[in-house]
Amino acid sequence: MLTVSGTGRLTADPEKKTTAQGTSVVSFSIAVPKNFKPKEGPDADFFNCTAWRNTADYIANYGHKGDIIEVSGTLEIKKWEKDGQKHSDANVVVDNARFWGGKSATTETAAQSVPAETTPVSPPGMW
């Protein structure tokens, strides 16, 4: 198991679903800026993420496209074969998340997502 953490911007509003057993799950992706400006291609890496239960509810309730989010969890690699071709996909299974503000940040979400002794700020290198 590989533990990962990162800070990026939500690329779209999180999509919350509920399993047949009533468990909340949310899927989303984040754009994490690269430390260098490439000559070609995007200046960010994109990561697919999944969160469950209370973490899913928190992200779905307070996350919006463009918001800065810090996540930590484990890296999951899915492998499958379709039409004779092998495929794989990496996904971060999020255990913890915290919003740092963004395009749609409000005083309410900042107060609920960041400890009172901390002032929300954009991490270095964020757009």
What is the per-residue pLDDT for 96?
96
The CATH number that applies at residue 20 is 2.40.50.140
What is the per-residue pLDDT for 127?
46
Helices in the chain by DSSP H: which ranges?
A: 53-62, 107-113
Q: What is the pTM of this model?
A: 0.74
What is the per-residue pLDDT for 92?
97
**Number of structural domains, the chain?**
1
What is the per-residue pLDDT for 54?
96
Query: Does a structural domain hold residue 85?
Result: yes
Query: Does a structural domain hold residue 123?
Result: no
Query: Does a structural domain hold residue 119?
Result: no
- Mean pLDDT per 10-residue segment, the chain (127 residues): 93 96 97 84 90 97 96 94 93 96 51 37 44
Query: Does a structural domain hold residue 109?
Result: yes
* Distance from the Cα of residue 35 to its chain's centroid: 19
78 is in which domain, residue-wise? Answer: 2-35+42-113
Query: Does a structural domain hold residue 58?
Result: yes
Cβ contact 81:50 at 8 Å = no
Query: Does a structural domain hold residue 107?
Result: yes
